[in-house]
Amino acid sequence: MRTLIVSDLHLGTLSGADLLRRPELRSALLDAVAAVDRVVLLGDVLELRHGPMRDAMSAARPVFADLGKALAGRELILTAGNHDHALVEPWLALRGEEDEPPPLGVEQLLEPAQVSPAFARIADWAAPARVSVAYPGLWVRPDVYACHGHYLDCHLTVPTLERLSVGAMSRLLGRPAQKFSSVGDYEAIGAPVFAWRDAVARDVRTGDALNGIATVAAWRALGGGARTDGAGAGGDLRGREDATGLGSTVLKLRRRALVGAFPVAVAALNRAGLGPLRADISPTELRRAGLRAMGEVAARLGLGDAYVVFGHTHRVGPLPADEQSEWHGSGGARLVNAGNWTYSEVFLTATPGQSPYWPGTCVVVEDSGPPLVKRLLQDRTHADISPVAD
């Protein structure tokens, strides 16, 4: 059975960065779907942190309608990530409402209607495809496991907002990530954090701090926007800022102060028990930290030496220029990242397709052999994929 795995669509973003809402870009994915037996959407399918679910669902409906027609009776498997955890939360809440539920395994296969009304609507839109839900992931074949990958935030050493949130919850509940050994451990820490953010966005559009705009601004200010990833990418966002007049003396002084204070702030977070965290937020360290953390998750969940396909970090790989040893987890798992379908300029090179964060990627799993990374939009330009102004 040939399986196509796609992650991080983020349908419904406020910025319009979700590429699959545009038919001319969606066609590349639909062409790929024609050659497979099933499709797996690996979480963060919807963007539920920017505003009410109805907005994201409205943006997603034509995507699912086209995907269902393209699959025509074949299988579509959905799962949830941290940005659309609300899709699976009703099932998680109900399973323990009356009796002590059985422990969560690494794979629960469910009918959409038993998970949530939203998943049920998506299944209707995707007809005539046969839709099911897997959570937190699924065994694509006996040696290939696929999940969104958001559990890795519990072990990340980069001080992202998500990492700090789960770190604070872990400390509050007295459940250190160093002792995790089950899906239930990760859900106990992550679910309350996700629920709070979902509740904020339920009725109104969120502010910059929660919808990611402030995070991108901070990344640029700290130098994390430098366009290099250790995989041949080059260039620097700071040159563009200077060219547009943003590189003023005041801006430079503010950046210098922020960069100088950042290591001090990280040290304070470590002393507060939210670590271990590092002050290095370079793209190279972001890649390595994400892979180390995902390898840790795979080891703690007992995935052995399976191929583990995940998303979440938006960084596709392994690519030919990557250090292949980085993509092996501490417990033997062989890591593969499905990338993303969103336009995030801060991570992209000026040369189209060069950045490992360039959107429009997927992973194909055959009956045997390693999962294969495919880049479906590598030949598109910035003009082709950048958000279209309303």
Q: Are 182 and 103 in contact (CB under 8 A)?
A: yes
Q: How confident is the model at residue 237, as a pLDDT?
A: 36
Q: How confident is the model at residue 185, as a pLDDT?
A: 97
Q: How confident is the model at residue 215, as a pLDDT?
A: 64
Q: How confident is the model at residue 249, as a pLDDT?
A: 65
Q: How confident is the model at residue 262, as a pLDDT?
A: 80
Q: How far apart (Å, rounded) are the C-alpha atoms in residues 295 and 303? A: 10
Q: How confident is the model at residue 306, as a pLDDT?
A: 98
Q: Name the nearest CA neighbour of 2 among 35, 41, 43.
A: 35
Return the bridge partners of 317, or none.
337
Q: How confident is the model at residue 248, as a pLDDT?
A: 60
Burial zone of 252 (CB within 10 Å; 0-12 exposed, 13-18 middle, 19+ buried) = middle
Return the bridge partners of 133, or none.
78, 110
Q: List b or e across 346-367, with b for residues whose CB sees 16 or more CB atoms inside 10 angstroms.
A: bbbbeebebbbbbbbbbbebee
How much is the pTM? 0.91
Q: Specify the CATH number of the domain 3-214+280-385.
A: 3.60.21
Ranges under pLDDT 70 in the chain: 207-258, 389-390
Q: How confident is the model at residue 293, as a pLDDT?
A: 97
Q: How many helices (H) and strands (E) does the chain have?
A: 13, 10
Q: How far apart (Å, rounded) are the C-alpha atoms in residues 126 and 68? A: 4
